[in-house]
Structure 1
């Protein structure tokens, strides 16, 4: 059975995995300065195994940290300004920011205001988070969040509770007041038991229950040139620390996204490879994850070119790599795979108990 822990690792509360501790870094404004990116890369190589994952919350996850190196790593990350020295404050920084912000625009202004007022938030469940998505059109619609600030069809800003199709209009300067108030309502109305806003069935307070529909989502980032520099894709959302350092040397800073890619500020686009892998979701799998009973990424690499739609290979039923349905989903169970279509990880299988060779043969990839 997969163990659903109900919380995400943070810097001060790492999570044990098969390859060591996972230490999660939440860059402010989804941004690393050049010095921060190089410093984080060096710390990941010195105190971890040199692998860094980009999560679907636009966090950076340093892998393979030994118990006796964790304290030194945290000290370095705090000195770089990437982690708060106060664990309680760090735990409140579950803020997802649309990465294409410009200094002084609404996303930058609101996210900066929220960062200064985090201590006004109540104690929230470990996976509860916020999305500040105030660009011309929402970009973070499919990224995990519980309270969202985004655009409506007229260009105005709205506050919307996840799981609800509409929200309320926001006057300039009141956005964070409304966000904090809705977070307090969530706790006061029993939301802690539900864990996430979308699972909380309580009726919204009257002031937060309006019929303003958000704008259709904007165009997703594509690898290649970008107004800020260049978008670089990361197969399976992973990058070696040495490569992140090299990338940082070539640019002015790094923007972290929830889509397995980075924006290199001032960077120059290079030819993209492994296109199929960029459109395939696969968790780290066994043996790096103790929840997984199967290796995932080697199979995903071989299978990806032979799957016409979205492929998801999950080491267990939790589906950490992708919460949304995929055209083809393989879920690890007891050392073999269950195959389903147009489903999430852990869905009832069409065919159960396949090994890797049988899967490859079925899709003509053997």
Structure 2
């Protein structure tokens, strides 16, 4: 298998990552929400200082692509002016907070996420990939999303604090949620969790005060495209397409990001026109909604194969979820998929019900062989 580099950290605005197409600058909008003015400003900055291509990640962050070294600082200044990044680099690095997109102002999700954001300075230094999920709606929405510490609803209606990798959580008293979450993050570090990197890989017994006794409620139905939600193929959006959407839809006052490549529109009115089908998915049955594919070669220096053109051709012919990964890291999808293709030395390894990099059922396939395997040739 081809070697690849596990960096052990995720880029943010102050610490961008070099990709094959330039610097990758990650933006973590507070509460996963951008106002109309912020969207317009971000799109203009992405075109002016980058390639104009924007990715929505599996943690509902934005990544501005194609930024040169000379354009990085002007981009940062634009994001600061828009209020999309924290001027404190340490606080920005800790702001890995995933928020259920159905929150309303003043509800539990909004209240807890806002308090956590205000108290980021109280968190310890955590591994770069560690994050939080505030999922305090009627039923959990983020159970399949990546997070290490979760506040979510139990079947009883109580809120619980759950460490990722544990099936049960600890009940929380109202008003203590952030206190307990910060305490659990500190325990993680003090008990050696930094060496493990992630909560699910840290097998130390939880402290007595965090004893897990209550299971979370059943998950809410997965969000789908509809009158107030648009799918984004592979999580990619061109800044120009997003700008045009706002131009023809003046009623859109904000957009909320999700970990499912779906953008939720804050608008009281139906869309006036059909969105650009090349940029947005409007039909829940579209095969690309159950397809994950990283940017692949040549945009990623660790990928050895092209990914997204193949994924588009193959998706309609795959039953279940498809994952096409440029290398064994599996950045586009951490969990298993029904069909997984992993790039290896310029060819593809095919596996079923597996993660990227799993032992393949067939190895060393080219594009024609893959398409023939699924009747897509």
Q: Which TM bucket (shorter chain)?
A: over 0.9
Does the CA contact (< 8 Å) of 1:329 and 1:339 recur in 2? yes
Q: Distance in 1 between matches of 2:344 and 2:73?
A: 35
Partner-residue secondary structure (3-state), 2:43: helix
The DSSP-based 3-state class of the residue aligned with 1:224 is coil
Indicate the residue corresponding to 1:7 in structure 2. 9
CA deviations on 1:298-355 (whole Å, 9 max, x unpaired) are 1011111111111110000001111111111100000000001111100000010000
Work out the CA distance in 1 between the residues paired with 2:24 and 2:165.
30
Q: Give how far 1:102 is off.
A: 0.4
Cα shift at 1:275: 1.2
Give unpaired runs (5+ residues) of structure 1. none
Deviations 1:70-98 (A, max 9, x none): 00000000110001111111101000000
Match for residue 220 of structure 2?
Answer: 218
Instruction: Give yes or no for the alignment of 1:237 onto 2:235.
Output: yes
DSSP 3-state at the match of 1:303: helix
CA distance in 2 between partners of 1:248 and 1:2 (Å): 40
- How many residue pairs get matched? 362
CA RMSD of aligned residues (A): 1.1
Whole-angstrom distance in 2 between the partners of 1:85 and 1:12: 9
Query: In the aligned structure 1, how far is the partner of 2:7 from the partner of 2:63?
Result: 17
Aligned mates of 1:34, 1:327 — CA distance in 2: 38
CA contact (8 A) 1:248 1:254 kept: no
3-state secondary structure, aligned to 1:320: coil
User: Would you say the 8 A contact 2:162–2:212 is kept in 1?
Assistant: no
1:63-102 matched pairs, under 5 angstroms: 63-102=65-104
Choose which of 318, 333, 339 in structure 2 pairs with 1:328. 339
Alpha-carbon offset, residue 154 of structure 1: 1.1
Does the CA contact (< 8 Å) of 1:20 and 1:65 recur in 2? Answer: yes
SS of the equivalent of 2:195 reads helix
Partner of 1:365: 376
| Contact 1:248–1:264 under 8 Å retained in 2 | no
1:157-216 superposed Cα distances (whole Å, 9 cap, x missing partner):
000000011111111110000000000000100111001000001110000013111101
Please name the residue that 2:279 is paired with.
none
Q: TM-score, normalised by structure 2?
A: 0.94
1:279 deviates by: 1.4
Residue of structure 1 equivalent to 2:329 = 318
Query: Whole-Å Cα distance in 1 between the matches of residues 205 and 148 of structure 2?
Result: 15
Instruction: Provide the C-alpha distance between the structure 2 equivalents of 1:210 and 1:101, rounded to a whole number of angstroms.
Output: 26
Q: Which residue of 2 aligns with 1:189?
A: 191
Decide whether the 8 Å contact of 2:139 with 2:217 is kept in 1. yes
Q: Is 1:285 paired with 2:286?
A: no
Is the CA contact 2:52–2:239 (under 8 Å) kept in the aligned structure 1? yes
The 3-state SS of whatever aligns with 2:300 is: coil
- Counterpart position of 1:204: 206
Give the superposition deviation at 1:248. Answer: 3.6
Question: 1:42: Cα distance to partner?
Answer: 0.5
- Taking the aligned partners of 1:209 and 1:154, their CA distance within structure 2 comes to 17
- Counterpart of 2:256 in 1: which secondary structure? strand
Task: Flag structure 2 segments of 5+ consecutive residues without an equivalent.
Answer: 276-281
